[in-house]
Amino acid sequence: MKYVGELLAYEVGLLIKPSTPAINYKKLPNYEWRASASREVAQESHRRFAAQLPVLRSNTLLQKQKCVKKVGVSMQSSNLHGGDLDELSRVYGIDKNKIMNFSGNVNPLGLPESVKRAIAKNVDIATGYPDVSYRELREAIAQYTGAKAEHIIAGNGSTELITGFIKAVMPKKAVIQEPAYSEYLRILEQVGCQTALSPLNADKNFIPDINDLPLTDDVDMVVVCNPNNPTGTYLTAAQIAELAEKCKKTGAFIMIDETYVEFADTKKHISAVELTDRFDNIGVIRGTSKFFACPGLRLGYGISGNKAILEKVNQNRDLWSVNVYAELAGKVMFTDTDFIEKTRTLINTERARMEEELGKIQGLKLFGTQSNFFLAKIENKNITSKDVFLNLLKKNILIRDAENFPFLDESYIRFCILSPEENDMLIKNLKEIFK
C-alpha cells in the first residue's frame, strides 16, 4: 500500500514519509465507487482510513523484514516491482542480478549498441554543457516521430514533462482515465486540482470509450495513457481526434502519455503525434526508458502545436535538465533503425506467442494488449495476485502484483515480454501454478 501525507506508526515509533504518495482508493472505508471520484471525497475518506489503522506501512522503512516481523504483519507484494530491485533484493535476500524482471516493462534487447559505442567514444563531453535549446536532439526526434522540431521539447524523462504540462495548464478540474500511472494524480493534487477518476470497464475488457469520460463544462484537462498502463488497451488516433473536438468546445487540454506506443503494431494507428498539427489542445509525452531500455539516462520529450503551452513547459523546466550523455544518446537511438525494427519484430512475435500459450491456462484471463506487457485476471478464487507473485519470486521471476492500481484488486497481475527463453520460463511456471 501507499499512503498520502505523514503517517505515524505507533508500534515501531517511526514517522513515515512515503516516497511515492498515492491514495489506495480501494482500501478506503465507506467509499462508494462511482464513475468519478472527487479529490475532496478521496482525501476525507483517506483521513478516516488512516485514523482507523494502528500500523501503517510505506514503500520505505516498514518493508524491511525486521519491521514486518516486529509489527506482525505480512509483506505487501504490491509495494515491490521492477523499479525496486535493490529493495526487493534486501527484503527477500535474492541476488538482483539473477532476477528475471517481468515487472519493469523494459525492452529485453537492452540499451542499443549504437548508443553504447557513442557514449564510449565521447566520454569527455561531460566537460561541457549540453545545447540549452537541444536543437539537434529535437531534430532527431522530429525525424523519428514525424513531428515538427518547433513542436518538440526535451525533458529529464517523461515525468518531468508530465509535471511541466500540468503546471503549464494549471487545471482546476481534471479527468484521468484509470487505472494508470500514479504520478498523474500526485502532480495534479500538488497544483490543487480537483480530479475525477474515470475507470476503464473490466466487463468490457478495459477497452477505452471516450463517451465514458465525464467531460463536464468545467473540466480543463484530460489525462490519457495510450496504450494504457497497466491494461495495454488503447484509443486509436481517430478516437483521440474525436475527443479533441469535444474538448475544444469546453477549452480542455488533453495530455497523452505515449510511453508504450512504440511497442504497438503500427497498423493500429494509435499515436496522436500527427494530430498535434491539427489540434492545439493536445500534448503528447514520450520517454525512452522502456522502448530504448535506458531508464537511468532520463530522457523524454513532449510534442504540442500549442506554442504558448510549450513556452510555459519550458519555463517550468530546469536549464540543461537533459544531460550531455542523454542528449547524445537521443541523437543516436532515434536514428538506429535496425534496433527499432528488431524490437518491434521481437515484441510482436512474442506477444502473439505468449497470448496463445497463456490463453490455454484455465483460471487465468488475459486481456488484449498493444504494449509490451499483459494484464491478467486470476479467475481461480483460491489464488490471489500475492500468491502468484511470491510463488514466481521463489523461481527468481518478478512480476507486478497489480492489486494497488486504482480499480483493480488482488485478482490482477501484470507481466511484460522478455526474451523467448525467459518468456518460456514464465509460461511454464504459470502453468504449474494454475494446473
Q: What is the pLDDT of residues 78-99, one digit of tens each?
A: 455 556 788 888 888 888 889 9
Relative to beta strand 400-401, strand 412-416 is antiparallel
> What's the pTM value of the predicted model, to 2 decimals?
0.83
Q: Is 38 left (phi over 0), alpha (psi -120 to 50) or beta?
A: beta
Q: Is 115 helix (H, G, I), strand (E, B) or coil?
A: helix
Q: What is the pLDDT of residues 170-184, one digit of tens each?
A: 999 999 999 999 999
- DSSP 8-state symbol, 37: -
Give the Cα separation of 82 and 301 in Å (integer). Answer: 23
pLDDT of residue 135 exceeding 80: yes
Residue 303's φ and ψ, nearest 5 degrees, are -135, 125
Q: Which fold has domain 84-105+337-435?
A: Aspartate Aminotransferase, domain 1 (3.90.1150)
Smallest CA-to-CA distance from 283 within 187, 370, 155, 153 is with 153
CB 258 within 8 A of CB 69: no
Give the Cα separation of 200 and 406 in Å (integer). Answer: 10
Residue 74: per-residue pLDDT: 35
Q: Could you tell me what percent of the chain has a pLDDT over 90?
A: 77
- In angstroms, the first-to-last Cα distance of the chain is 30
Domain boundaries, the chain: 1-75, 84-105+337-435, 113-335
Smallest CA-to-CA distance from 272 within 287, 288, 255, 289 is with 255
Average pLDDT for residues 30-49, to the nearest whole number?
37
Residue 94: per-residue pLDDT: 86
What are residue 196's DSSP bridge partners? 175
Average pLDDT for residues 401-412, to the nearest whole number?
96
Give the Cα separation of 430 and 418 in Å (integer). Answer: 15
Residue 8's φ and ψ, nearest 5 degrees, are -95, 125
Name the maximum alpha-carbon separation found in the chain: 60
Give the Cα separation of 100 and 103 in Å (integer). Answer: 9
Per-residue cell: 183? 504520478
Per-residue cell: 401? 502484483
Domain spanning 113-335: which CATH class is it, in words? Answer: alpha beta
Give the Cα separation of 141 and 138 in Å (integer). Answer: 5
Higher pLDDT, 41 or 172: 172
pLDDT of residue 247 exceeding 90: yes
Higher pLDDT, 38 or 414: 414
